[in-house]
A and B are shown apart, each in its own frame.
Chain A
Amino acid sequence: MIRLLALRELRSLFSMPSTWFALAVLQFIFAWFFLARLDAFLEIQPQLAQLANPPGVTITIAAPLFNTAALLLMMLAPMFTMRLIAEERRNQTLTLLLSAPLSSRHIVLGKFFGLLIFLAALMAGLPLMLYTLAFGTALDHGMLLSNMLGLLLLTASYVAVGLYVSALTTQPVIAAIGALAVLVGLWLADIGTAAEDSPWHLISPLNHFQNFNAGLLDSGDAVFFVLFSAFFLLLAMRRIHNNRIYG
């Protein structure tokens, strides 16, 4: 059932021209960043070569690129999550799901995985571009993998927040702005706090991405992402269930 709902979500997404437009524009932006970083790397490469232990191509090109993608995603995810439940409610298609033999768990997880798969596909262009470098040089596969995993977990946490905010309202635009406010709020609180041990650092997804970005796999960070996503998904399930209680 979860798979069926996820596939429906994907089918709907891909039947809308706006999705293809977003896909195209995003690939263009990624390619632009990629080429700009590559250009900068080639320019400073002679100087880097003189260092005793020079940073490799992966850390100078891939890491900043993934970091940019993570920031972009923060703005982008709400635009896709806003429709998830708010639009179903506005178009009254939510009734179809509520009257079908499904639990709130199916509905929420179906939508979550549907969009996560889509966003993963959207982001897939990035590692593909980076792997073209493998034709000319040796890449740090471990670091690339850690970045990809980190980006996927980060996306999951963003989708979970967006899904919950979308479950709160009937207006997709409000859902988008609400999710953006939460995500940017968490980020600003994180970067705006100087104290090293502030709790704001602990609850900011982007902060937990930094280790992945540096090629460091910390199980603590991974657990954070799982808990963060699960928390918002549970809230969303609760909200869908309340739909039956409060109408």
Chain B
Amino acid sequence: MPNATPEITLSARNLSRRFGNRQIIHDVSLELRRGEVLGLLGHNGAGKSTTLQMLTGCLLPDEGKIEICGIDLLRRPMLAKAHIGYLPETPPLYRELSVNDYLIFAARLRGMKPGDAAEALVQTRQRCGLETVGKKIIGTLSKGYQQRVGIAQAIIHRPAVIVLDEPTVGLDPTQIRDIRTLIRELGDSSSVILSTHLLGEVQSVCDRVEIMQHGKLIYGDTSARMQKYGGISGFIISLRSPPSLSELEAIAGVSSVEPLSATQFRVLHAPDINPSAALLTLAERQGWQLEQLTPLQATLEEVFARITDAGITGEKNTTGETS
């Protein structure tokens, strides 16, 4: 981050929303600073899209307050919305228009002057890899390109807050990688908030993560710290001529050994002592013929499951400070 404390671009306080008798969003508060990428993580139906709709002014919250760059979104929507770029779950594309016409329209819609819009078009097309398809009709483009056009319309007016609802859904792995790189880039100059149910996405692009379940934020921290949440200390070893289990268990620091096959073992140890060095020397000396030693990493899936399980019991972790 360039500054010690970059300005707050989006702040939402105590948002609540009900549809009929069902309370969909309970008391959600979010804060986003310039240069930050925030991942909103949750299962389908957790209330991510509804939250994002409220943050972009498409849906009014029943209670709560939203400020975009210090402007109240509910009281002065016209001013505040000019600072938002929003890509909904389905990209809002006029399929009969050409990419250029559509993007110019999107820029002008957010109050850009015609000259600025033309300039922004060139830049945005280059950023989103749309140089070659400018004159094509959107309806004829592939899904990946349509998604890119969707992102392009959200960023063409250089908004301070970019809201992306599941931006990589339905794309192939190369396209996902490209779009993640783009999101990372966007996060340098603006604030990005994206929703996803893919934990890997949070891991690769987000600085910070908020986990949502049943319309509540149940966990918030940096994504690096989230990976450590309830992490496992241990490794998997393969030995071609393994000793008995008790011999392995006897190594200092090892808390348990579980055989996975005849030659593979899962070794767990206390978080503060790492017995891998001792094990290596021992294997060398005893001729166990070590083939492989892979540290165990708690997958984000496991982390997520643990956190959401904790969420059910009503535990709420405090939001981690990032700067």
Contacts and interface: CB of A to CB of B under 8 A. Distances in A.
B9 interface: no
Contacts of B82: 101
B59 A100 contact: no
Given A4-B108, A92-B90, A95-B86, A245 B60 contact: yes
Contacts of A95: 58, 86, 88, 92
Contacts of A8: 94, 97, 105
A8 B153 CA distance: 15
A101 B92 contact: no
Nearest to B109: A100
Interface stretch (B73-81, B230-238, B296-304): B73-81
B279 interface: no
A91 B94 CA distance: 8
B226 interface: no
A95 B150 CA distance: 12
A133 B84 CA distance: 57
B97 A96 contact: no
A102 interface: yes
Nearest to A12: B96
Contacts of B94: 8, 12, 91, 93
B101 A99 contact: no
B64 interface: no
Interface residues of B, number: 34
Contacts of B89: 92
A100 B137 CA distance: 23
A108 B92 CA distance: 18
A98 B58 contact: yes
Contact of B109 (A12, A91, A96, A244): A96
B22 to A, nearest CB: 12
Interface residues of A, number: 23
B19 A99 contact: no
Nearest to A7: B105
A99 B96 contact: no
Interface string A135-177: 0000000000000000000000000000000000000000000
Interface in B186-236: none
Interface in B53-79: 53, 56-60, 77-79
A54 interface: no
B93 A100 contact: no
Interface in A1-47: 1, 4, 8, 11-12, 15-16
Interface of B: 19, 50, 53, 56-60, 77-82, 84, 86, 88-90, 92-97, 101, 105-106, 108-111, 137, 153
22 contacts: A1-B109, A4-B108, A11-B97, A12-B94, A12-B96, A12-B97, A91-B90, A92-B90, A95-B58, A95-B92, A96-B109, A98-B57, A98-B58, A99-B84, A101-B77, A101-B80, A101-B82, A102-B109, A103-B78, A244-B59, A244-B60, A247-B50
User: Which 10 pairs between the two chains have the least Cβ-Cβ distance?
Assistant: A96-B92, A101-B81, A93-B92, A92-B90, A99-B86, A99-B56, A98-B58, A100-B109, A15-B96, A101-B82
Given A100-B81, A101-B109, A244-B58, 17 more contacts: A4-B108, A8-B94, A11-B101, A12-B94, A15-B137, A91-B92, A91-B93, A92-B89, A92-B90, A95-B88, A96-B109, A98-B58, A99-B56, A99-B81, A99-B84, A101-B81, A247-B59
